[in-house]
Amino acid sequence: MNKYEIMYIIRPDMEEEAQTALVERFNNILTDNGAEIEKVEEIGKKRLAYEINDYRDGYYVLINFAGDERAINEFNRQAGFSKDVIRHMAIREDDQ
């Protein structure tokens, strides 16, 4: 299994309970597709470099996990459908 890192940005006007539920939902998408989550870091609300969908701020979440393409593909598919996720990016970490 390869190691990956996903960072995604949630729209800033969500209630705290809804944000927590969304983070749990996306963690479950990864684990349901065979990924082993190592760390989830909720970085918090930050100013965006440029406006995205009329938002100037976003709530950043960083996930480190071991998995395969199936987990990444399903995460990307679900994040693409979600109106609550305004940006997401997955990268594979180098083997050391």
The answer to whether residue 58 is domain-embedded is no
The answer to whether residue 60 is domain-embedded is no
The answer to whether residue 72 is domain-embedded is yes
Domain assignment of residue 31, given as a range: 2-53+65-84
Confidence check: pLDDT of 23 > 60: yes
pLDDT bucket at 94, cuts 50 / 70 / 90:
confident
Confidence check: pLDDT of 1 > 90: no
- Phi, psi angle pair for 92, to nearest 5°: -95, 130
pTM for this entry? 0.89
The answer to whether residue 46 is domain-embedded is yes
The answer to whether residue 92 is domain-embedded is no
Contact 67, 2 (CB under 8 A): yes
Tokens of 47: 């100013």
The answer to whether residue 90 is domain-embedded is no
Query: Within a 10 A sphere around the Cβ of 84, how many other Cβ atoms?
Result: 18
Read off the CATH number of the domain in which 25 is found: 3.30.70.60
The answer to whether residue 80 is domain-embedded is yes
Q: How many domains in the chain?
A: 1
